[in-house]
Structure 1
């Protein structure tokens, strides 16, 4: 091993090669050295810690943040918190990868899975790798259908895609999630074909749900579809809703919002969500913190999968 070179020379050679993208021949000409000497200098730069090389695989597993996970679990009384990020990758994609890995792991251990809808849930399902589970779990809807929220561009529903990835058959709920009249919801709930699916959905062992924030992404669509009158909309806002899960809204303290919106959603209830053994809630984006905090305070979510920016904002939320 040749004697260590002068540190200034090693740093200069490293900057020329790694920062400026010069070839070893060009570095040799610049420094008045042979190409073999430059090669040895660059080796010393790595061995002495002057240069550190990191490989960031954009398709690799997301990076976890254990300290933030522990703090988030403690703050919101979660069974588990998965706080992730990935280099040069949006938070939504990191959450989707982690969420799909978690659901795949859990799916092999349960007999039934419930699914809501939304952008983040859709991205999680897109990331699922095909795996043949035997026996295949039942895959059930926690919420009625919503053409703009539970379908891929191909027109295939999120529920069917998840079922196909696990070699299962989706059990569909052929009714809309949001209706304009509470009486219609009540009538549909009495239909045997709908009642049986909702009853089975309320008893799933594992649920994947999106955590929404008032006025963002799917939340405005939910309210819009209800066709609230001016008086009803005022009554809704007076309850100070901040977030939503399975089409149902909560305030900042996690208290479920009541009439008129609660009566116009065809979905499992808050009390039924609370009885599901594990509800995995997914969300991404720091801007969603107020709504997600409300959902987490409701106690409906046992395991949260969020990106690090959202997690830090949740910890800063009072």
Structure 2
């Protein structure tokens, strides 16, 4: 970051927001133009030098957010999206708000657990710079599959979080699904693996989406061929509604007894509930069955979703 430009931006921000000066007044005092002042303040926003938070009294929380919060016991952030937007555009706008919500919950001396996927990949591209100290990023579930390691896709997602927060990244280089449950149980006893598992479940914040096989932007785990036809059929027979970090759950939010979970590298969902802030990002109505199930199971504390999906969630 250019130090001279940074100094100018800090000065402009303090004059505009702390002293209440107009951009024209700042321009006169600094001997620059209004457009230069505007660019400096825009620079401060884009680099994370300043953040905006809206603190609303309970009676002024928008209706859908208040209704979702009352019905499901979560903090909801509903993202306005034009009705004409494509599903991909809807995802991008939702991801941008999710990045702001994440900055409000994650900071120095904290651990962030990230579940890779289509949604968190979108969030990783919309992150707002926030350098931290003594923070760490940890991968929440393995990514390997039969024909590839999955490392390229997942590593880039995690690297963006690491760069954004100036934090080291802890990778989890295991398969997304083991061939045999016994292999997973044996590996989970290794001290090197236990260190990552303990870091995951001791996280302060977890970020994830809801896995779904349908929609214009299907989840990466389905699109990339992690599951074969027999496994997909097995999930349908089990009444699975969705997944978080490649761990599956039914429409009532339960996950016990689902055979594929015994081979999955994602976290035990009962243990995941112990993470203080669990941010779930959802875009598109195809995710609704999984979202409803996750809410019934108490798997999230903070929900970021587009307004169309929110309206369907509350039955409007």
TM-score normalised by length of structure 2: 0.71
Q: TM-score, normalised by structure 1?
A: 0.71
CA distance in 1, matches of 2:214, 2:262: 20
Deviation string 1:65-122 (CA, Å, 9 cap, x unpaired) is 81111111122221x0001124575221221111101112222265111100111111
| CA shift digits 1:201-257 (9 cap, x unpaired) | 1110111011123545227639953557x5x76554332111111111111111115
Matches within 5 A, 1:66-215: 66-78=62-74, 80-87=75-82, 90-108=89-107, 111-133=110-132, 135-146=133-144, 152=153, 156-215=155-214
Unaligned runs of 5+ in 2: 1-45, 47-51
Query: What secondary structure is seen at the aligned counterpart in 2 of 1:98?
Result: helix
Aligned partners of 1:196 and 1:271: how far apart in 2? Answer: 19
SS in 2 for 1:243: strand
Cα distance in 2, alignment partners of residues 98 and 150 from structure 1: 27
C-alpha distance in 2, partners of 1:270/1:285?
23
Cα distance, 1:156–1:140 mapped onto 2, change above 3 Å:
closer
Maintained 8 Å contact 2:81/2:90: yes
Instruction: Compute the displacement of 1:299 (Å).
Output: 0.5
Indicate if the aligned counterparts of 2:81 and 2:307 stay in contact, CA closer than 8 A.
no
Q: Distance in 1 between matches of 2:247 and 2:187?
A: 17
CA–CA separation in structure 1 for the residues paired with 2:159 and 2:109: 18
Contact 1:251/1:257, CA 8 A, preserved across alignment? no
Distance 1:225 1:66, change over 3 A: same
List alignment gaps of at least 5 residues for structure 1: 1-58
Q: How many angstroms does 1:184 deviate by?
A: 2.0
Structure 1 residues 164, 67: closer, same or farther in 2, change over 3 A? same
Per-residue deviation, 1:199: 1.2
Q: CA RMSD in A?
A: 3.0
Q: Distance in 1 between matches of 2:234 and 2:81?
A: 42
CA distance in 2, matches of 1:176, 1:143: 8
Q: Tell whether 2:308 aligns with 1:309.
A: yes
Higher radius of gyration, 1 or 2: 1
Whether the aligned pair in 2 keeps the contact of 1:139 and 1:171 (CA below 8 Å) is: yes
Following superposition, the deviation at residue 258 of structure 1 comes to: 2.5
Question: CA contact under 8 A between 1:178 and 1:266: conserved in structure 2?
Answer: yes
Q: How many matched pairs?
A: 252
Tell me what 1:218 maps to: 219
Deviations 1:24-58 (A, max 9, x none): xxxxxxxxxxxxxxxxxxxxxxxxxxxxxxxxxxx
